[in-house]
Amino acid sequence: MYRLFESIVDPFAKRDLGTPPRNIWAFIRSELRPFKRLLPWLLIGGLVVALLETWLISYSGQIIDYVNQSDGDALWGRHGLELLAVAALLLFGRPLAFFLNGLLQHQALSSAMRDQVRWRAHTHMLGQSREFFHNDFAGRLANRVMQIGPAVEDNVYTFFEAVWFVSIYFISALWIMSSVTPALAFPMLLWLCAFVLYILHMGRRISKASEEMSQTRSMVTARVVDAYTNIESVKLFSGDSREKDFALQAAQQDRERFMVFMRLWTRIRLDLGLLTGVLIVGVVGLSLYYWSMGRVTVGEISAVTALVMRLSAMTAWIMWVSTLLFENAGKIHESMESIAKDHTVTDADTAPELSVTAGEIKLVDVAHHYGKDQGGLNGINLTIAAGEKVGLVGRSGAGKTTLVNLLLRFMDPETGRIEIDGQDISVVQQESLRSAIGMVTQEPGLMHRSVRDNIVLGAPDASDADIERAITRADAAHFIPDLEDPKGRRGMKAFVGERGVKLSGGQRQRIALARVVLKDAPILVLDEATSALDSESEAVIQNALSGVMEGKTVIAIAHRLSTIARMDRIVVLDDGQIAEIGTHTELLAKGGLYAGFWSRQSGEMLGLDTE
C-alpha cells in the first residue's frame, strides 16, 4: 500500500524544464505539475477530514440535548441505531479517512516533492558554467540546493494538511453557529477577518526575517566548509584563530538575525492570547446570553463552546503554520538567488554530437576578453593538424588557459569560432565535445571516492582488463594495492580523500593519468601536468605521457620548457596574441621571446646569471 502511493510520482524522472521561475509561486506551481492528477484527491481528502471533525463537535452537542430530553430507555429507543452508526463511523470510517488522507499527503506528496525539488535544482546547477561555481562558495551553493527542497515540500504539504483543513473548519464552524442563531457567526466572522489581517502583517515580517536569517546561515555554512576544504592551508599558515574569527563574524550575524526572528515569535504569543480571549468572550458570552433568553439549548451552547475552544487551541498552531509558510518563502527566495539563473553556456535543442574523425583543431579570429577591454585572447588564428603535438608557452596572463577553456567550451568566445574536424564546437553537444578531449592538469581534481571510481570517471563502462592496462601505462600499478583508507577499504576500493589529499602528488597525478589513458580521447590537453612533481616523478610521468600522446592531437601548456621542447610546434602567446610559432630549434634561432624564456630557464638550472 505504502509503495503504491510512493510510486505515483517519480521525483528523479528526467524533465528538462529550463531555468526555474524567479517568482516563488510560479516556481512552486512548476514543481506541482507532475502532481496534477493527485491534487484533486488531496483536496477531497482534506475536505472529508475537516468536515468529519467539525461534524463530530456539532454532534456532541446534539448528544447532550438527547440526554437532557430523554431517560435511558427512551434515549436508546429513539436514537439507538443512530448512535451505533456514529460509533461505527468513529471506529472504522474516521480512522480510514485519516489513513487514506495520510497516504496522499505523506507517501504520494511529501516523499516525492522534497527530493524532486532538490534533484531538479541540483541538475540545473550542474549545467552552469565553470565560472558560476568559481564565483561563489561551494558550501553556500550546496546549502541552497539542500534547503529549497524541504522548504517547498513544507509549504505544499502545509497547504493541504493545515491551510485547506483550517479553511474548511472555519467555514463549517460558521455554518454550525449560523444554524444555531445567525448572530453567533457575527463575532467569529469579525475575529476571523482580524486574525487573517494579523497573519498577513506578521507573515511579511517573518518572511523578511527568515530570508535574512537564511542568508547568514548559508554564509556560516560557506565559511565553515571553505575552512574544512582548505584545512591544509589553514594549518600550514597557522590560520586556526583567523578562521575561527572569520566564521565567528558570520555566526554572530546569524545569531543577531535569529534573535530578531525569535522576538517576533514572542510578540506573536502575546497577540494571540489577546485575540483568542476576544473570540472566546465574544462567542461564548453571546451564546450564554441567547440561552438565558431561551433561544438556544444546552447542547447547542456545548457545541459552540467546543468549536470555539478548539479554535482557540488551534490558533497557535495556525499561526505557526502560517508563519512557516512565510518563513519557507524566505528560504526559497534566498535559494533562488543561485538556482533560478540562466545557463550561460547552452546547447541548442537540436544540437548534434561532435564527430571526431581525425582530430584537427582550428581557431578562426577567436577573441575573448571576459567582458573587459583587455586580457584573454585577441584575434587568434591557429590550425593544429590531426595528430600534431603543439606546445603553448607565454607569460602568466598571456591567454594560454583562456584558449584551453574556450576549446573545452567552459565559455564561448566573444568573437570568432573554434572548429574540430570542421565542426563549430558552439553548435554541438557539450558532453560530446568534452568526451572527445582528455585532460591532465597540474591539480588532478580527484573526488572523495574510491580509486576505481576516480579512474573510470571518463569511461564508466570500462572492463576490468581495460582499467588494469590503463593503470599499468600510467605507472600506478605498484602503489595502488597498498592503499588503505580509515574504513579498511584497500586497493582499488580505497577512498582517496577530498581532492585526493590522502595520496602523494605523484600518486594523484598517476591516477589522473590512468583516467585519461582509459578515456582514450582523440584530443589530449596537458595543462602543467608535471609542474608540481619532483624530478623523478616528473620523468616517470613524462615517459608515460609520451606513450599516451601517440596518435593523438595534443596541446600542452608548460612553464618548464624542457617538457615541450620535442613538440612538433611551439606557439608563443603574448598579450592575447600569437607572438611566435615554430619548432624549438627554429624559435631558438629566431632569438625572440621563446629564446629569452629558454635562456633564463637554462641559466637558472646551471646557476648562471643570464641578465
pLDDT one-digit tens code per residue, 30-81: 888 899 899 999 999 989 988 888 888 777 777 777 777 766 667 777 777 8
Give pLDDT, residue 386: 92
Across residues 471-492, what is the average pLDDT? 87
* pLDDT greater at residue 111 or residue 290: 111
Residues in CB range of 490: below 8 A, 6 or more apart: 481, 483, 484
Ordered domains of the chain (ranges, CATH): 24-339 (1.20.1560.10), 354-436+521-611 (3.40.50.300), 444-520 (3.40.50.300)
Q: Where are the beta strands (DSSP E) in 53-176?
A: none
Task: State the pTM of this model.
Answer: 0.70
Enter the DSSP assignment of 481: G
Res 607 pLDDT > 50: no
Give pLDDT, residue 41: 92
Give pLDDT, residue 70: 67
Residues 510-545 have pLDDT tens digits of: 888 888 888 888 999 988 776 656 666 667 777 777
- Residue percentage of the chain with pLDDT more than 70: 94
Confidence of residue 603 (pLDDT cuts 50, 70, 90): very low
Give pLDDT, residue 369: 85
Across residues 167-186, what is the average pLDDT? 78
* pLDDT greater at residue 608 or residue 203: 203
Give pLDDT, residue 610: 36
Confidence of residue 200 (pLDDT cuts 50, 70, 90): confident
Average pLDDT, the chain: 82
Which of 37-51, 199-213, 327-341 is predicted most confidently?
A: 37-51
Confidence of residue 611 (pLDDT cuts 50, 70, 90): very low
Give pLDDT, residue 569: 93
Which range is least confidently modeled, 116-120, 181-185, 417-421, 479-483?
Answer: 181-185
Instruction: Confirm if 42 and 109 have CB atoms less than 8 A apart.
Output: yes
Element (H, E) at 571: strand 569-574
Q: How many Å apart are CA 245 and CA 251, to the nearest integer?
A: 10
DSSP 380-437: EEEEE-TT-EEEEEESTTSSHHHHHHHHTTSS--SEEEEEETTEEGGGS-HHHHHHTE
Residues 8-30 have pLDDT tens digits of: 888 888 776 778 888 888 888 88
Give pLDDT, residue 225: 79
Q: How many Å apart are CA 13 and CA 35, to the nearest integer?
A: 13
Instruction: Confirm if 594 and 569 have CB atoms less than 8 A apart.
Output: no
Beta-carbon count within 10 A of 172 CB: 20
* pLDDT greater at residue 432 or residue 506: 432
311: nearest Cα among 160, 171, 105? 171
DSSP 222-283: HHHHHHHHTHHHHHHTT-HHHHHHHHHHHHHHHHHHHHHHHHHHHHHHHHHHHHHHHHHHHH
Give pLDDT, residue 609: 38
Res 608 pLDDT > 50: no
Across residues 240-244, what is the average pLDDT? 78
Residues 87-132 have pLDDT tens digits of: 888 888 888 998 998 899 888 998 888 888 988 888 888 888 878 8
How far from each other are the two terminal CA atoms of the chain, in whole angstroms? 83
Give pLDDT, residue 602: 63
* pLDDT greater at residue 300 or residue 579: 579
Q: How buried is residue 266: exposed, middle or buried, by Cβ count under 10 Å (0-12/13-18/19+)?
A: exposed
Confidence of residue 423 (pLDDT cuts 50, 70, 90): very high
Res 158 pLDDT > 90: no
Give pLDDT, residue 532: 56
Give pLDDT, residue 526: 87
Confidence of residue 361 (pLDDT cuts 50, 70, 90): very high
Instruction: Confirm if 275 and 194 have CB atoms less than 8 A apart.
Output: yes
Give pLDDT, residue 572: 92
